[in-house]
Structure formats: C-alpha cells, structure tokens
Structure 1
Amino acid sequence: MPSRIEDYALLGDCETAALVSRDGSIDWLCWPRFDSEACFAALLGTPEHGRWQLRPHNASSDAGAKPVRRYRGDSLVLETEYETAEGAVTVVDFMPPRGQASDIVRIVRGRRGRVPMRMEMTIRFDYGCTVPWVSRVGPQTLRAVAGPDMVTLRTPVLFRGEGLCTVSDFTVGEGESVPFVLTYSPSHLPPPEPVDPEAALCDTLQFWDDWCARCTFEGPWRDAVIRSLVTLKALTYRPTGGIVAAPTTSLPEKLGGVRNWDYRYCWLRDATLTLLALMNAGFYEEAQDWREWLMRAVAGSPNQIQIMYGIGGERRLQEWEVPWLPGYEGASPVRIGNAAAGQLQLDIYGELMDAVHQARLGGLGVTDQGWSLQCALIDHLATVWNQPDEGIWEVRGQSRHYTHSKVMAWVAVDRMLKSARKFGLKAPLDRWRALRDAIHQNVCEHGFSPEMNSFVQYYGARHVDAALLAIPLVGFLPITDPRVEGTIAAVEKHLLQDGFLLRYRTEEADDGLPDGEGVFLPCTLWLADAYVLQGRRDEAVALFERVLALCNDLGLLSEEYDTKAKRLVGNFPQAFSHIALVTTAHNLTRGAKPAKQRTQTNGNGGK
C-alpha cells in the first residue's frame, strides 16, 4: 500500500518530478516530462507497479529507524535521517537541474556505526504495465529498456536480479558515502555520460540558493512562502514556461471515491494569481515565461480556446482509464488525460485578460499581435457570454448559467477597457463599455437572490459556491456592498466545515458525480483574502494559519483536506494551493498586494 499523501516529498528538475515517501520509496515518477508515462507508479497501485526504495535493511521492524527528514535550506534537496540499533545514516535525494539528461541522485552517508542498507528497484514503464529488458553493463551499471524508453543505474555497490526486481544489500560505515544515479534517456541514443554525484549535489544546491536569493517577500511567514514558491518553480516546465497544476494523476478528492483527475496540465483558471504570486515575490522572469506560455497556448481561432493545455500548449488531452492500476487506496478509476479540456468555461476569458493586464502593469509588455489576439477573443466572448457553461469547478453534469462565470466574463471586458485606456491601445471603447455594463446588469439581476441576501452558484439556484468570493476580489462589486456582505456571510454559514471551506456542497450542486470531497484549501484562503478586504485581519490570520498547519513536515499541500480522517487528499503537491498561500501571505503583510491589485474599480461596472 502506498504512503499517506502527506508523507511524500517532492523532487524535481523543472521538467518532471518524483514523489518519495518517508520510508525511502520513490513511488511516482513520469519520465522525461511531467505528462509522460510513469515508470514508477506504486503510488496508484502496488510495489509491482514500479518503485525505487532505499533505506536501512531493518527499517520496517526497527522502531528506532523512524526517519526524520527535511529539505536542505530552501532547496529541493531532501535529507532523510535514520537512527538504527547499528548506527545512523542520512539518505540525500535530489534531481539536478537538467543538463544532457534527467537524473535522480541518491547518496547514502554513514554518520555513526555500520548500518546495513537495502535497495530495491522495480522499473515498470507505461504506468506500471511494461516490464523492461534489464541487462548488466559492466559491474557498476544496469540498463533497462522497453520500446522508446531507457533508464541507466550507476552505483559502486553490487546488485542482483530478484523476481523481476533489482536489489542490493550493502553496509555503510561512519564517514562513508554510497551513491546511486538513475538516468533517463531515449533508447535509440547512446546512454548519457554519467554525472558526478557530489558535483551534482553542489550544483543543485547552488541552483536553488541562487533562485531563492531573488525572492523579495519579507514577513512573518517567509519560510512558508519560499517553500510554496520553490514548489511552484518545481512544477514549471522550464522549456516552455508552462506550470502544471500538480505532478500527479488520480489522487482522490475523497478517499476511496471516484473524483480522481489528471492534473499534469496547465489551467488558465490559475493565470492571474500565478502571475501576481511570481511578480510580487520578485520572480519577473518566471512571470514573463508564464505570460508568454499563456499567449502561445491560446493563439489560434478564438472559438477553439480551451480551459487547459499540455505543458507545451498541446490541446488533445483525451481521457482514458488505466484498468491495471487499482488506484490510490482503491480509489478508482485511474484516469490519464482530462476530458474537461473540451468544456466551455467562461471564467477563463477573465483570467486570461486579467493576467495580461496585470503583466502590462508590471512592466511585462505585450506585442501588437498579442493585443490583436485579445481583441479577437473579446469579440468571440461577446457571442458566448450569455450561454450556460460548466463553470470553474468543471462539473460533469448539466451546463448552467454559473454566476462566477459571468462575473469573470465581466472581468475580461473590464480589463480590456483598462488596458486600452492605460496604454493607449486601439479599441472599440463604446462597444466594450456597453458589453461590460450588460454583463454586470445580467449578473446582478439573475445571479443574486434577495430572499437569501446573497449571490448564488448559478442562476435560479438556492445555494452558494465559494467561487462567489471572487465578486469583491476581482472588483465586480466593492467589499462594502450589502450584496457582497450578504454573500460572504452565506458562504460562511453554508460552506464552512470544521474551520475550512468547501467549494460547494456536492449534494446540492448536482455535479454529475457521486460521493463528496474534502474541504478546498485555495477557497479557504480566498475567504481569508475577503476578510482582509473587510478589515477582519485577526480572522484572516487565524484562517491562514489554520491552513498553514495542514502543510506536511516539508511545507507541502495538496488541494483538499479530509477533516474526518485528518488527511490531505487530492493531487499533490498542488500549485493552486501554494499560489493561494503566497497570495494570502502578501495580502496579510503588504496591504496593496494583491487583493487591491484586482479591485481597482468603482464597483458599478467599472464606469
């Protein structure tokens, strides 16, 4: 059985990522990209579906071998310390910044005594399905090949085959170091030259030290913010600038449930907060890479815009189920690809236009071609904004007129008007003003329930949705508007559960799926942001620190939390949660960031 979700650590080289458990098992790795087929898939099955474990030989039976782990400084270099009856060792795990190839380096360092160690590696390409042909290439090198894929293991210790698994039993004494280097390469090319493990460690630490030195955030939660930003950087596909929502697929939103989705793609819904999180912390290069990825991804016919894309901007993300993987703790099906890519979600227009507007304000210029593309997208939005859609939460039930979707359509037009005026860009201002005002009036007439004194999830509904918190956060209405105050109160009344916020109540929303889900951590932080705007700082801090307390021992968060089982659930680590964490930290420490950045309007349609 795989470990608890919160018991995993993240390794990454800014092109793919691995998850390693407390007991030294790498249970998830897709090579060579985030969205490639996994060669270690025990996370969604059993050890026979692929893993790489390295730990003291008696760790499972020796109570004294309970590991203590940490990242070294602000890096992604993981150090796991084991205390055993025979002595003490530290296992150092990391992925160097990618050079000629992608590597995972594991170094066992003896600290005291002589500790028997065991290494077990089961390589299974194609999400745990394909057994490779494994051969020895000299006394210290192993090679595994299947179709287009090849991995090479280099280590000075002896190893052997045992039941379609590679194992090694060895002993590490005080002051000794034993390295293992696993390298991926295409099978039709010669194996890459080996990396020097110690030199690679120095290079990796220097890479993260240099990167983190650029951070401008200062405040009482700096460590949590830095760890969130490092996680966001690790989830960035460096060749293109795209940022995946998570490095995993099908980790359930409810233990044993069916809400299991593939998150190894880039969502437009995260666009603005991602950009602001990076810019406000001083990472303008990454922000520009993300902005440029956005513009390339949506380029083309405006009526073909999607809610998400592949890390290179790919559009075909067909969803299929993996029959041979039983799923995390039996949560099935295991899904590869994401059918939601074909949904209509009107909110993405607002996210895209707001992100590009904020980029311009931050000094990240946009070309004339980029403005022309934006104008074409707005022309298309004018023809579809009044249609029902699937909404920000990608429901697989009936399409509806979601209030949040209409609000974000308003944001799209509003930000285009602001950009045109601020930067002297050519635009049909009168037509856009009329469109913006029409959307605003439509939302206020149909999205607000006088009986509930609140905006509602969709037109005609009798329940609320945490996405309604966007209404003041994006400047659709001011925080002091009685309708906004009523909406925040309704969200608190109906969606707060054990001190955290649900996205919506699944039993009310008829979202096309059985089962419920955990509380949603980004939405909980949105409520804290709304408190900041209301001047309820103490409540905002309390809510923020309640979420911080859910971070695992390494500062990582998933998307949701099961308050009954007291476990993180959903794909892990989740960019959306860490972006929200950075956003709220900025709101609490710098009053003008970023809650005020998205609310520069008088609240009456931006007139």
Structure 2
Amino acid sequence: MKPAPGNQALDLGMVGNGGFAALIDAHARVVWGCVPAFDGDPAFCALLQPTAHPGGDFAIELEDLASAEQHYLPNTAVLRTILRDRHGAAVEVTDFAPRWRQYDRFYRPVMLARHLRPLAGSPRIRVRLRPLGDYGALQPETTWGSNHIRYLVPGFTLRLTTDAPVRLVREQRPFVLERDLHLVLGPDETLTQPVADFVHGAQQRTVGYWRDWVRSLSIPLDWQEAVIRSAITLKLCQYEETGAVVAAMTTSIPEAAHSERNWDYRYCWLRDAAFVVRALNRLGATRTMESYLGYVFNIASTEDVELQPLYGIGFEAELAEDEVDSLAGYRGMGPVRRGNLAWLQKQHDVYGSVVLASTQLFFDLRLEHPGDAAMFERLEPLGERAFALHDQPDAGLWEFRGRAEVHTYSSVMCWAACDRLARIAVHLRLPGRVRYWRERADVIHARIIKEGFDAGLGHFVDTFGGERLDASLLLLADFGFIKADDPRFVGTVEAIGRDLKRGHGLFRYIAPDDFGVPETSFTICTFWYIDALAAIGRIDEARELFEAVLQRRNPLGLLSEDLAFEDGEAWGNFPQTYSHVGLIIAAMRLSRSWQEAT
C-alpha cells in the first residue's frame, strides 16, 4: 500500500500535560502521539508515514479548505487552529491536554481534548480518528456505544467520548458543523459529567494552570515571548512521574534529507541535565528543576557507578535499537529506529554532567530537599570515575559510533566533576575533601591545557593531540574551566567562527564521521556560539545572530534539532529540548536588565 501523505514540514505545535503529548500540524491534524507515555507505541504515527494501513492520525478536515491559521493561547500549552473554506465558512479547533492541581496532586491523564466551534457560514467537516498499533503495523479493533468509540490499541485502550454524531465519526462521513462539538480521547473510563461541561471546565482550569506557572517564572526583559514558549516546551518534555526530560518527542526525523542520521530521542540523556537544570534555575522553575534533579540523582546514587549516557524515562537501562519496517519515515526518509544504541557507549562527560546537575541541590535554598553530607558521599564515586577516565578514549558527546579518542570536552567535564565536588565540600565545610578534590581537578586541568590546547594553532582542539575544531569547545569558559578573556579561549571562539560557522548557523564539526560529512547546523551549537560571543565582548554581533536564529523558529515558536544553512528548514527530532535550553540561556545573557526599562 502506498504510504499516506505525511506532514511536509515541521510546522507543528505540541500540546501535553507531563504524562502525554501530541504533535498537531497546521491543519489541526494530530500526526504524532505515543501511548501511554512519551516512549510508548505511537498510536498517532502519520508523521512517519505508516505503510501497512492508512491513518495514524486524528484529523478535523474542512471541505474546500482554503486557508488555516494557528496560535497558542498566550502563556499556555493550549493550541487554537482556525480553518477557512473557499465559501467563507470557518471552524475553530481548540486542542489541549488537561492539566491542573487537585487533591494535592496534578491531574494529567493520557488525554487529548478537542473543542470544535463554527465561526462563520456552514462549515462541512469530517472527523478522522485512525489510531494504529505496533508502530503502524496494526489496525486496532473498535467497539462503540451511543456516545463513545473504543480503540483497542495493544497495551492501552483509547476511548473517544463525544457529543458529535458517533456514527458519522466512526464511518468518517462529512457533516455540517452547526453547533459546538467536543471530543475527549483518553483512557477507557466513563466521563461523570456531560462532555461539553467537562471540556469547558477542563480548558478553563488548564489555561489557569499554565498562566499561573508562567507568572512564577523569572524571565528576561527582551524576547519574553520566545523565552516563555521555550520554557513551556521544556515543561511539556518532562515526564512528571519520574522527572525525566526527553531529548525530543519524536524518533527518526533525519538530521538532513536522506542522510540516514535517524535516531530515537524519546529518552533522557544525562548530559542534558546540566543544561536543562541551568536553564530552569535561571527561570526560577524550581519544581520542574527539582523533579529532574531527583531523576538524575536517583540514577547517580545507585551502587553501580558506571553511568550510561542515557536512560529510559522510567529509569530503564537497556534501550535496544532496531529498525521499524511498518513506517516509511519522515517524508519517506527511513530508516525509522526504535531504541538507541548509544546506551552501550562510553561517554565520559556523563560523570561531569551528573555532578554539575546535582551541584544545584547543595546551593539553591529554594529547594525542598537540599543536599547534605550523605548526598555528597553518594556523588564522590562519580568523581573517582571521572578522575580515572579523564584521559581515556570515549565516543564523545557527539556519540561517534566508529571511533574512540580522548575528547577534550569529555576531559573538561571530568574536570568539572572534581571541581564541583571541591566546591560542594567547601560549602559543607569538609576541608579534607576540599583538598582531595581540588588536587584532582588541578591534575586534570593541567593535562587538558597540555594535550587539548595547540599553541601553534592558537586554540583548543577536539581531541588530545588533535588539530580539529569542535563546537563543544565554546563551553570551556561557561563551565569555569578558563576565563572568557583568556586569549586561548578568545582564539578558540574566533577559530570556530571562522571554520564552523556558515551564515546564521554552526556545524558541530566538519570532519567526516560514521555517516559522511555533516550537512546541517546543530541549533544548540549556534546558541553556544552566541553565548561565547557575548562572553568575549562581541555583544552586538551576538544579538544580531540571536535575532536571526529566532526568525528560524517554526510559526509557533518551536525548534527542532537542526536547521538547514541555505533556507533555515527544520530537520532533526522535534521539539528539541537542547535547542530551547540554548535559546533561554542566550536570551538571559543578552537581554537588557529590567532596571534599564524601568
């Protein structure tokens, strides 16, 4: 069977509630959503074009569609789409995943609520609800009653409760929308109130939740809308049950067209912890930050100090990777992968990432459970591993599958582990441990300066004894490894701008890797470069580049992993938490202070 047509651009919006998330295209079609959680079976998989059966979507189709417009309700994760036909009729579709606080906990079911409202004329619509199972391979059995339809997806039964004509929905027949209709897709449970009352009340409470949450943020004066949208996106990417933050909601959207750089990002990379925690801390999102720290510390405090680069959102260690034949891939560009082989790799920077993230526990007085001497003792074995591995080959943060070297970034993160342990020991007034960890940090620091800096080239290099550049070297000053005004760092920033920058984006590196030569800019690297430019005093240049990158967000303000250099087209998994962290950090550095405006 010919693959169903998929979305042709990442002009998608995301709705979610911390337990469930869905991606919705510009025409109000749900094209991606996994059940019962972010890493589950994508019942809605149209984004990756199922081949065995049509569907994998939840569409509200307007006959004779002429145009569409879409926006979030301000400061919320509630998405509104307006569809207009060629005859002047219009319909409004409001989508959200219910979330609010009740009974001293959060109500966040696996649920999507949709409110359809006629705005003008007599819009004629068709509701297509076509979930699939087993990554698009199975059509679920259905049953129905007078006000509901049940879809028996493997491992989870979805129930649609609606005041729309059930037969017309079940048979996908068009009808004229004469009044407001409501569709609630969620667990196989009976609603205890009229569906219209539930949707109206749920929308009001969900809007209230998000606006209260946004009001609690400490945002910069400039670029407020962009920062707020990025903050909400980070929040939506947190699986609240454990605190894990996924790298992205999707799998297998390629980094570039036909590149086969297709990976599953629906897992939690510990490397992201340091970056996400820093962004959330700067915004004052303490509950989200503390929940993530709990996830990280849970893993870090196990008996086994051999850390993996990533884990499942439920702390799963084994993430076996395989290819899915029942999905053709984004725009037909397979393979589609499930799982991620990187869990088997050695990436030594992970020890520094975990210690950096956990350091927040000891210094932030806002946290409910601050770090103490017992927590410090649980972190020390990670420092020992970092010291032992700081000059050993690994796959590096870019997860090379075909080579292992001593990566400068990995060594710097090993230094950071020892350095932060020394700082924590100072805070806890443990002078013996201060000396111990400071000596180890100094040993690593000296080794990196000797092996990771090339005096002839005038800049730091990607590997010990190497000569190539790597965008991760832009972080050396940010981590405190070297001062921003040190000529060695300034020279590194200038060399990276000369060799890795193309237009308004940055390569991670330009040397060929396991899959050939990189083709697109890696969005977080561009933000790292912006931050580094500001650190060395090139503020105007940094602001100009930052504004250019903001223009490359999708129409709803969301970012994927990669951007094409030529036209700014989005590639890579979506939405990418790394990219939104970079936006927040850069905006906080570049913004004018509130005092300047008041």
TM range (shorter): over 0.9
Query: Using the alignment, how far apart are the partners of 1:83 and 1:526 within structure 2?
Result: 41
What secondary structure, in the 3-state scheme, does the structure 2 residue paired with 1:370 have?
A: helix
The structure-2 alpha-carbon separation of the partners of 1:266 and 1:373, relative to structure 1 and needing over 3 Å to count, comes to same
Task: Select which of 30, 38, 41 maps to 1:37.
Answer: 41
User: Are 1:6 and 2:16 matched, yes or no?
Assistant: no
* Counterpart code for 1:179: H
Query: Can you give the 5+ residue segments of structure 2 that lack an aligned partner in the other structure?
Result: 100-105
- In the alignment, which residue of structure 1 is the partner of 2:529? 527
- 1:43-62 to 2 correspondence within 5 Å? 43-46=47-50, 48-59=54-65
| Aligned partner of 1:501 among 501, 506, 528 | 506
Pick aligned residue for 1:203 from 180, 184, 205: 205
**Alpha-carbon contact 1:255-1:329 (below 8 Å) kept:** no
Deviation at 1:499?
2.1
TM-score (norm 1): 0.91
1:471 to 1:166, Cα distance in 2 relative to 1, 3 A: farther
Q: Does 1:158 align with 2:160?
A: no
Helix, strand or coil at the partner of 2:258: coil
TM value normalised by structure 2: 0.92
Which residue in the other structure is 2:308 paired with? 306
The one-character-per-residue Cα deviations of 1:439-493 (angstroms, maximum 9, x if unpaired) are 1111111111223211111123221000011111111111122211111111011
Tell me, yes or no, if the aligned pair for 2:20 and 2:97 is still in contact at 8 Å. no
For 1:113, the equivalent position in structure 2 comes to 121
Q: Which residue number corresponds to residue 393 of structure 1?
A: 398
Percentage of pairs with the same residue:
33
Structure 1 window deviating more from structure 2 (43-52 vs 494-503): it is 43-52
Question: Does the 8 Å contact 1:256/1:329 carry over to 2?
Answer: no
Distance between the aligned counterparts of 1:26 and 1:414, measured in 2?
47
Q: Indicate if the aligned counterparts of 1:522 and 1:576 stay in contact, CA closer than 8 A.
A: yes
Q: Distance in 2 between matches of 1:537 and 1:568?
A: 26
Give, in whole Å, the separation in 1 of the partners of 2:442 and 2:497. Answer: 29
Choose 581-590 or 492-501, whichever is displaced more: 581-590
SS in 2 for 1:198: helix
Q: Which of 174, 177, 180 is the equivalent residue of 1:177?
A: 180
Give the match's secondary structure for 2:476.
helix
Say which SS state the counterpart of residue 353 (structure 1) adopts: helix
Q: Give the Cα separation in 1 of the matches to 2:140 and 2:517.
A: 38
- Is 1:234 the equivalent of 2:236? yes
Secondary structure (helix, strand or coil) at the match of 1:303 reads coil
Equivalent residues in 2 for 1:169-568 (5 A)? 169-173=174-178, 176-185=179-188, 193=192, 196-363=198-365, 364=367, 365-425=370-430, 427-505=432-510, 508=511, 510-514=512-516, 516-568=518-570
The answer as to whether partners of 2:507 and 2:518 remain within 8 angstroms in 1 is no
Deviating more after overlay: 303-312 vs 318-327: 303-312
Unpaired runs of 5+ residues, structure 1, are 60-64, 593-607
Cα shift at 1:33: 0.5
Q: Cα distance, 1:302 vs. partner?
A: 4.2
Tell me, in whole angstroms, the C-alpha distance in 2 between the residues paired with 1:159 and 1:272: 49
Indicate the SS of the match to 1:411: helix
Does the aligned pair in 2 maintain the 1:106–1:181 contact within 8 Å?
yes
Q: Which of the residues 110, 117, 128 maps onto 1:102?
A: 110
Amino acid at match of 2:270: L
User: 2: CA distance between counterparts of 1:482 and 1:369?
Assistant: 40
| CA 259–591 in structure 1, closer or farther in 2 if over 3 Å, else same | farther
Contact 2:307/2:351 (8 A) holds in 1:
no
- Structure 1 residue matching 2:292: 3-state secondary structure: helix
Match of 2:144 in 1: 136
Equivalent in the alignment of 1:78? 79
Q: Which amino acid aligns with 1:111?
A: L
Query: Against the structure 1 CA distance between its residues 198 and 493, is the aligned structure 2 distance closer, same or farther, given a 3 Å change threshold?
Result: same
Please list, as runs of the form range in 1=range in 2, the aligned pairs for 1:9-24 lying within 5 A after superposition: 9-24=13-28
Which residue number corresponds to residue 603 of structure 1? none
Letter in 2 for 1:52: F
User: Once the 2 structures are TM-superposed, how far is the Cα of residue 426 of structure 1 from its aligned partner?
Assistant: 6.5
Write the letter of the residue equivalent to 1:120: R
- Residues 106, 487 of structure 1: alpha-carbon distance in 2 compared, 3 angstrom cutoff: same
CA distance in 2, matches of 1:543, 1:554: 20
> Against the structure 1 CA distance between its residues 172 and 146, is the aligned structure 2 distance closer, same or farther, given a 3 Å change threshold?
closer
Count of aligned pairs between the two proteins: 575
Q: Structure 1's 513 and 49: CA in aligned 2 closer, same or farther, altered over 3 A?
A: farther
